[in-house]
Amino acid sequence: MGSQSINVKQSVEDTFSKIQHAIGNSDYKIKTIEANKSVIAEGNREFSWAIVIILAILIWPAAIVYYFTRQRSSVTIIITPGSDLGSKVTINSHGKTGETVMQSILDDIQ
């Protein structure tokens, strides 16, 4: 789990559109969006194929339970107006790919 909070010089609207573009370039799907305020996006489940295969061979119901109980990677972005027509962006990420998407968003808005 990662978290970043930065101030950017762009307006809330410009920052929001850059964030949407960065998420659109990833394999994440937007679950919740509030225009110019927040975005919650999810990716794939974080699991090990080796564990799934071993469980499928030994105890196949356990493989199904294991897969569906794994948490999805996600990012949550909150944008608030800042001083001097800028904005403040707070990003929280969960999972391995969440960190990658968070870094992509940070690269796009800075």
What is the pLDDT confidence band of residue 11, given thresholds at 50, 70 and 90?
confident
Residue 56 has pLDDT above 80, yes or no: yes
Residue 33: beta bridge partners? 39
A 10 A CB-CB count for 73 gives 23
Residue 83 has pLDDT above 80, yes or no: no
pTM of the model: 0.78
What is the pLDDT confidence band of residue 50, given thresholds at 50, 70 and 90?
very high
Residue 105 has pLDDT above 80, yes or no: yes
Q: How far apart are CA 22 and CA 17, in angstroms?
A: 9
What ranges do the domains of the chain cover? 2-109
Homologous superfamily of domain range 2-109: Kinase associated domain 1, KA1 (3.30.310.80)
DSSP 86: -
Residue 92: the pLDDT is 93
Residue 7 has pLDDT above 80, yes or no: yes
Q: Which residue, 106, 97, 109, is CA-closest to 46?
A: 97
Angle at Cα 77 formed by Cα 76 and Cα 78, nearest 5°?
125
